[in-house]
Amino acid sequence: MNMEWTDIAAERSVLGGIAPFLAGVVVVAMLIGALWLGARVRAREPRRPHPDEQPRIPEGGPVHEEQLSREPDEIPKSDYRLTPYEVHGNQGTRPSPEKKRPRWGKNSSGGFGSGGLGAH
């Protein structure tokens, strides 16, 4: 029996065991570095607010939703193209004198393509 091949196989098995061990050491070092970096970033953040600094309910109680009817502002007629700043900025609606909210028709669900018969 030739013992030369067993010596070569033994040497390669040692290398085969060292490579995964070194890869594991590198991964662990990277994880430790990530934790260290995260701790440094967290240390620079402002502190968390104490319970007495948390928001409170207003003295008049909780604020409730308010429903208003609104109607769109009309775009002024012009011979040239209007730019956005010429059309009232972001004030696109105004309160409506009509207090009754618009509703959909009796036979209409209000959704396009909802599968209903629609208003006939």
Rounded-to-integer distance, Cα 109 and Cα 78, Å: 37
DSSP one-letter code for 27: H
Please tell me the predicted confidence (pLDDT) of residue 50. 92
Please tell me the predicted confidence (pLDDT) of residue 26. 97
Q: Which residue has the higher pLDDT, 82 or 52?
A: 52
Q: Which residue has the higher pLDDT, 27 or 115?
A: 27
- Residue type at 101 in one-letter notation: R
pTM (2 decimals)?
0.37
% of residues, the chain, pLDDT over 90: 21
Question: Binning pLDDT at 50, 70 and 90, where does residue 10 land?
Answer: low
Rounded-to-integer distance, Cα 17 and Cα 13, Å: 6
